[in-house]
Amino acid sequence: MPHDFHVIGSDPNAATRLASELVTALTHHGAPKRPVLFACIGTDRSTGDALGPLVGQWLVRSGCDPDTVLGTLEYPLHAVNLHDRTTHILSEDDRPIVVAIDAALGVHHEVGMISLHKVGLRPGHGVGKNLGQIGDVSITATVNAASGGIEAHVLQSTRLYIVQTLAKTIGIGCMHALRLIERPRALDALEALMTA
């Protein structure tokens, strides 16, 4: 996957386009042989920073295996617990492909944009935290415009509607990508049954 992918969240085809790009990225990292884990970063205590937990909640409610989703509204994955909740998973020999999902701040014309990055992300970087990098692939959504030095306040005052809409689009895209990746495996299993 040579370049980052960007799509406006209001694009009617945003989820489908995101799914297609995510399939390419996950395949590059060894899917479907390697499992996929979604690290949905953020907290429900800040509207703008709730994007990750909202995506996690959406994935679980849509039928995604809860063991493959870290970060929901009930059990958010954030700065305080990120290290403890991810260390054991990331140190396993058969480590999953980690898709890190987080809110981002940008310039005004980028608000509402969803981006798929070919590398992980540094959660909290936009608000001056150094939590290290997480993920093999990452998805961010620009929920508001940065405002030099008061980013925490900007996230707090972000419109919930924007965050929910972007979270739903990302959730649909991720679920669709998982189904596309699992389809060949299901077809192989069906073929094996038919020839047995």
CATH architecture, range 5-195: 3-Layer(aba) Sandwich (3.40)
| Strand blocks (E) in 51-118 | 69-70, 97-106, 113-117
The pLDDT value recorded for residue 122 is 84
List the chain domain ranges.
5-195
Q: Is the pLDDT of residue 186 over 60?
A: no
% of the chain at pLDDT higher than 70: 88
Q: Determine the residue type at 107.
A: V
Q: Is the pLDDT of residue 194 over 80?
A: no
Q: Is the pLDDT of residue 1 over 50?
A: no
Instruction: Quick: pLDDT tens for 90-145.
Output: 777 789 999 999 999 999 999 999 999 999 998 866 556 666 789 999 999 999 99
Q: Which residues contact 161 (CB under 8 A, 6 or more apart)?
A: none
Alpha-carbon distance of 160 to 123, in angstroms, equals: 20
Q: Which residues contact 104 (CB under 8 A, 6 or more apart)?
A: 115, 126, 140, 141, 142, 143
Q: Read off φ and ψ for residue 5, nearest 5 degrees.
A: -115, 140
- For residue 43, with 0-12 CB atoms within 10 Å meaning exposed, 13-18 middle and 19 or more buried, which class applies? middle
Task: Give the pLDDT band of residue 182 (cuts 50, 70, 90).
Answer: confident
Q: Supply the pTM of this predicted model.
A: 0.88
Rg (CA), the chain: 17
The pLDDT value recorded for residue 125 is 60
Residue 76 sits at the vertex; the CA angle it makes with 70 and 80, to the nearest 5 degrees, is: 105
Alpha-carbon distance of 169 to 190, in angstroms, equals: 31
The pLDDT value recorded for residue 119 is 93
Q: Is the pLDDT of residue 18 over 60?
A: yes
Read off the pLDDT of each residue in 165-184 and give the average, rounded to a whole number: 93
Task: Identify the DSSP state of 193.
Answer: H
